[in-house]
Homo-oligomer: A and B are copies of this chain.
Amino acid sequence: MDNRPVDFKEQLKERGYKLTTQRRAVLDVIIKNEGKHLSTEEIYELVKEGYPEIGLATVYRTLLLLDNMELVYKLDLDDGLSRYELNRNKEDHRHHHLICTKCGAVSEVEEDLLESLEEQILVKNRFIVKDHRVKFYGYCEACSQVKEPDSEVIKP
């Protein structure tokens, strides 16, 4: 079902890059942890479990490469770290993130629903929208039921 590794090798070849153990290891970790929004450091630690010799710089370089190849998608969840998620298909980055400012939980809205807004932007601002980044801040189901006074953990 997952033929990405094959695509990966081909895509690297097309660009004149080599398929190395390190690159496979990084991609594999991201694939195995789909949905977790891992940070660079977290990816590094996970890769080291199966490949202790890898260097942090290699992880940074590989992530940059995967991002350029659009196999991966870089996120900013406002904690000062770069996080990544698997980009299942080219149009897949059209989902949004819900960030709970109380507990820090991050979930996703699979729908896009920005077409009408983008159409208005085209007409009113004469700006052609090609991509977008949308983050919603608020309270997740669990946190919205708590009665205690607010104590925000996350600041947008």
- What residues make up the interface of A, taking CB atoms closer than 8 Å to B? 76, 98, 100-101, 107, 109, 111, 113-114, 116-118, 120-121, 124-141, 144, 156
Contacts and interface: CB of A to CB of B under 8 A. Distances in A.
A131 B97 CA distance: 12
A37 to B, nearest CB: 16
How many of these chains are in the complex? 2
A125 B107 contact: yes
Nearest to A105: B127
A19 to B, nearest CB: 24
A135 B76 CA distance: 12
Given A107-B125, A117-B114, A137 B130 contact: yes
Given A113-B120, A121-B98, A121-B109, A136 B140 contact: no
